[in-house]
């Protein structure tokens, strides 16, 4: 199984290492022809407005939208969650997304870089107890459509109850960065999603 990691900007190397540790063949994707060669894709954290511009520059925006619409399994973390959203609040007026998940996401909802934090998140369908989640200028989900499964919420602190993990069909998104923790459960879950989709 070949899982691409969108390598335009952000934490793509960390995702590639995590996927390799889960038994997948992880490859960088920067061009449409590279997208055609993968069974699934990870959209990493980073800066969603920059990622949006680079996706247009590298002619990936429309090809990826089509792949998502046709059922390509995709996982997005942090900025990747924003890029999978149907609606983005507090984004730039010219910001584009790949879409796919019927949800409204607020950019930088938890605050600025200095307000980054770690906190426990219970994720349904993933065993092993709460996930020690890393939030860096993270979004949260304010609203979901009827086909979206809410998988995780913040369990403590002032943001308790906020939605930070969702799934819709072959699409998975988290507001946090599992690639930075050494806990491979989210990546294993995604790899299993890809196997089942195949």
Clarify whether 62 is annotated catalytic.
Answer: no
20: enclosing H helix or E strand: helix 12-21
Clarify whether 177 is annotated catalytic.
Answer: yes
Clarify whether 142 is annotated catalytic.
Answer: no
Question: Which domains are present in the chain?
Answer: 2-197 (3.40.50.880)
> Any idea what DSSP says for residue 176?
S
Cα–Cα distances (Å) from 2 to 6, 38, 69, 157, 172, in that order, read 13, 5, 19, 38, 17
User: Which pLDDT tens digit goes with each residue over 30-73?
Assistant: 999 999 999 999 999 988 989 999 999 999 999 999 999 999 99
Mean pLDDT of all residues belonging to the chain: 92
Can you tell me the distance from the alpha carbon of 107 to that of 164, in angstroms, rounded to the nearest whole number?
A: 12
User: Which pLDDT tens digit goes with each residue over 102-126?
Assistant: 999 998 887 665 456 778 898 999 9
Of 14, 15, 22, 179, which residue is the catalytic one? 179
Beta bridge partners, 123, equal: 152
Of 15, 78, 96, 187, which residue is the catalytic one? 78
Share of the chain above pLDDT 70, in %: 96
What DSSP line would sit under 75-102, residue for residue?
EEETHHHHHHEEEEES--TT------EE
């Amino acid at each position: 199984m070949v899982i691409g990691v969108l390598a335009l900007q952000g934490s793509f190397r960390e995702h590639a290492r995590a996927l390799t540790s889960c038994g997948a063949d992880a490859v960088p994707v920067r061009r449409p022809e590279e997208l055609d060669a993968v069974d699934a894709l990870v959209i990493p954290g980073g800066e969603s407005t920059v990622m949006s511009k680079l996706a247009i520059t590298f002619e990936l925006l429309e090809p990826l939208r089509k792949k998502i619409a046709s059922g390509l399994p995709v996982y997005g973390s942090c900025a990747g969650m924003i890029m999978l959203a149907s609606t983005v609040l507090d984004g730039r007026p010219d910001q584009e997304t790949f879409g796919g998940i019927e949800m409204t996401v607020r950019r930088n909802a938890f605050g600025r870089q200095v307000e980054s934090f770690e906190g426990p998140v219970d994720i349904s369908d993933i065993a092993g107890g709460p996930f020690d989640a890393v939030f860096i200028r993270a979004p949260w989900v304010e609203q979901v459509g009827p086909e979206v499964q809410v998988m995780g919420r913040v369990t403590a602190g002032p943001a308790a109850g906020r939605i930070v993990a969702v799934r819709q069909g072959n699409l998975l998104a988290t507001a946090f960065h599992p690639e930075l923790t050494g806990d491979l459960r989210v990546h294993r879950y995604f790899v299993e999603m890809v196997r089942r989709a195949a």
